[in-house]
Amino acid sequence: MSKASKEVYKKVLGKAKGSDAKKALKDYQVAFMTFLDGIDAKAGETKYDYSLRFSALEDNLSMAKRRLDLELE
């Protein structure tokens, strides 16, 4: 995890009230890091397979962000 990412995580964690909000933040952080790790195409991966995998990463990140937003309201 980058230094900037850690700082943002700690800042938002301070605003997270309750265990559900903290879990949502952790889930979002994992989804974000997984998204970053998955941006590059894998060796031998077709454009179609990459598109499917990347769409799944985007969907997962988007869902985690929506849940985090709800928990931080």
Which tens digits make up the pLDDT trace of 22-70? 899 999 999 999 999 999 999 999 999 999 999 999 999 999 999 999 9
SS3 at position 73? coil
Q: What share of the chain is helix, strand, coil (3-state, %, to 5)?
A: 80, 0, 20
- Domain ranges in the chain are 3-72
User: In the predicted model, is pLDDT for residue 3 greater than 80?
Assistant: no
CA 36 to chain centroid, in Å, comes to 8
Q: What is the pTM of this model?
A: 0.80
Please, are residues 13 and 69 in contact by the beta-carbon 8 Å criterion? Answer: no
